Structure 1
Amino acid sequence: MSKTFADLVAFLAGFSHDLYRFVLAAFPWGEGELAGKSGPDEWQKDVLNDIRDGLKDPSTVIREAVASGNGIGKSALVSWIIIWAMATHEDTRGVVTANTEAQLRAKTWAELSKWYRLFIARDMFTLTATSIFCVQEGHERTWRIDAIPWSKDNPEAFAGLHNQGKRILMLFDEASAIYDEIWNVAEGAMTDADTEIVWCAFGNPTRPQGKFYECFHSAKAMWHTRQIDSRNVAISNKQQLKEWEEQYGEDSDFFKVHVRGIFPSASDNQLISRQLVDVALRRELEQRLYKFAPVIIGVDPAWTGGDMLAIVMRQGLYSKVLELLPKNDNDLAVGRKIAKYQDDYGATAVFIDMGYGTGIYSVGRDMGRSGWRLVSFAEAADGDEYANKRAEMWAQVKKWLEEGGSIDDDGLADELTGPEAYINRRGKLQLESKDDMKKRGLASPNMADALALTFAFPVHIDGNHNAKYRRARRSGKLRRVGTL
């Protein structure tokens, strides 16, 4: 080991049990990218000092849980803790995971890359897309922290983290959505005697259940907890927070989760609550409340796995699940089936998910069907507050339910409560993907997506539309179902 390396190691070792002083010394505050910045925010300083105080008792596992709103500098704090753990104790081992692999790679590890680049001793370590480890020969495997996506199907991937007599870091980012079994397996790394063990869990408090929630409730005696309101943090976007307050209200679950840093009162981070769909299931509508409205059919095709093709119709506040089919491999048969439903219900529009629906749409076009249209869930939304068309359509479903919408299927009700929603880095509402839902053990919400498709575009008819449609059918002017 060179003298320069040895001197640097000795310097950093002086901060082995003082995280706040380490952060002040390890980065070029006031210069370059950090111009105008003098160090951590007060809440970050408090967490760093809390870990410092915990290190005074070597027999104690340090457990820090922080529930917070958005935009408070959480990812920066995570990065500092990772770099401190690596830089101030030889042969530190650790694991970092997050709610999704995308979060882990694109945000948690991306933020670490920024602070690694600014770190005065970055030459001591190598940072890759999935790990940070010491460059000293012979320590590459023993002195490292790895980014490991969790999987409910393979929780044992977290079972092998032991480092007797040295230091262990376990860090959960966006911890509210991490599967409970991963927490249970992680506990196995907390049993090494005479070992510095630091376990940190951070995130929006999206669920009023689960292990992260328990950190603040039934397991509170084991955890040091903080709930951080974004409005009280210096770096947060106060204008954005004010707009959310005006849009959602201070007591809304959305504002609680994403600004106040407190757990929701009646729902989690679902866009649509169970209470809302239960009321919609029991709701009986008089025909006069919806018969004047255009009939719209939504089709969510499926092609792979155990997904189902769903066909749902909506007329004003009324909706009906028309059919649920195994994955379609016969576009002609499905197209004819949809055409028959269009005739039977006098539908003005048929909106089909573009994902696996182009063949079905082509069948309708060849049959001379009017009102059929492909919809891309990923296309731009009409409203600036939404990340894409899918998020906008689901938000419209929620509004429709709040205004008196009626559903007729228990399966649809379950699907409507499945997806979670969050604010992405551009400050826009984004709906959880189907793939991420499956990672949480939930089925693809095909019926719910089909209902959402009925809100894809505005549909207008004159008051005599249904009568005209029936007359056209009787006169034979409408092409018979299946005619190509």
Structure 2
Amino acid sequence: MMTAQKKRITIPYRPEPLWKMTIHPALESHRFSVIVAHRRFGKTVGTVNHLIKKCVQNHRRSPMYAYVAPFRNQAKLIAWNYLKYYTHVIPGVRINESDLFIEFPSRYQGAQGGRIYIIGADHPDNLRGTYWDGAILDEYAQIKAELWDEVVRPSLADRNGWCIFIGTPKGQNQFYEIYQKARREPDWYCCMYRADESGVFAPGGRLGPKELDDMKRDMSEEGIRQELYCDFTASAFNILITIDMVTAACKKVYQKADILGAPRILGVDVARFGNDSCAITRRQGLVAYKPKVFHAISNMDFAARLIQEINDFRPDAVFVDSGRGEGVIDRCRQLGYEVTEVSFGGKALEPAHYVNKRAEMWDAMRKWMQAGGSLPDMPELKTELVTPEYSFDAANRMKLEPKEKIKERIGKSPDVADSLALTFSYPVYPVVPKEAVHGSGATCNTDYNPF
């Protein structure tokens, strides 16, 4: 009896030596990976073919994979044609142009075959409510950080799915954070390839040295540093608080004796819009504690949580954002708790130097970090701290990028960082240490995990 021979199918992908010898093997052996690379490195082609390979080799029922870019139209423009081209030689592949997915023939009777979806992060609901065997997050610097934390990461749990973050630096943001995380975590893979080391622009390379020279001639110095040499700080000249400051502050460790006598302060930011957060931050001297964040909470409920914080922490001052916090402030005062309302747009204590109170508070927070302030290792806080840009008005007074513009740019308001900034609203002078009255041990529990 003769058996039919299986037909060998060759996908028209020829990986460059660096991908073949180094990157692809690393992606195969790591669940989570971060690739930082210059423009024209071939990130999309390489990772799309990794998706295809993993989907074809997956023998589970109905595998699901996703390629995610910041916007759907961008995702379609960048990856869709590549996906169709590299799979067109596979018999039985079905292309869905409206929903942007490729479906492979099923190995199981009555079940759908493996699918690879092209998805925009501007439509996050397309990623919710299902499992994913693997995902690519392209240009992660332009994707809301919450997409990974709240949507993608949980959806990978069912199948022990993997994820690859790819992109070129665009300042110090969540892409920088995930790159630093990958560098620290032994079970993550990370790599960075600059234009002068990848081989793409080398003699005999895919683009060659002349193209690199031409690109450099046509680009700004900042663009060259960022797009070709993967410098995360290239566009950070007008960032008030740099990621290096934040990273250093997260490494600071103090004993309780170091902050005895320093005033205890609460900063309270109240949500402005439906998807914003309420946040409470404790600070004593050079130590800031992990903020408590509340989502979708009413003013009355939040006031109750704030009162509980006041009772627990016994602060010497409570500064509450008055922008949307009127109800919280009124309720606290009604119950006999003393709080100070702070208007972000109000007059600064030093009006000759700052346009408003918000700029003054944030700059005071920056100076506190430089003086040795200690931060909790909280990704959301760190990302928000390095987000606002600053400039100067005609009178040479510092002003910060408006919160509305920040929200438009990154998809959320920096509520958590604002709660810490509020602890610098007004001077609060040292008092008699409560520890001297009530007694305590000699160690300091700051509720955070330094690097």
> Which of these two proteins has the greater Rg computed from alpha carbons?
1
The structure whose residues are more often helix, as a share, is 1
Give the TM-score, by structure 1 length: 0.43
Higher RCO (CA 8 Å, separation ≥ 6 residues): 2
Give the TM-score, by structure 2 length: 0.46
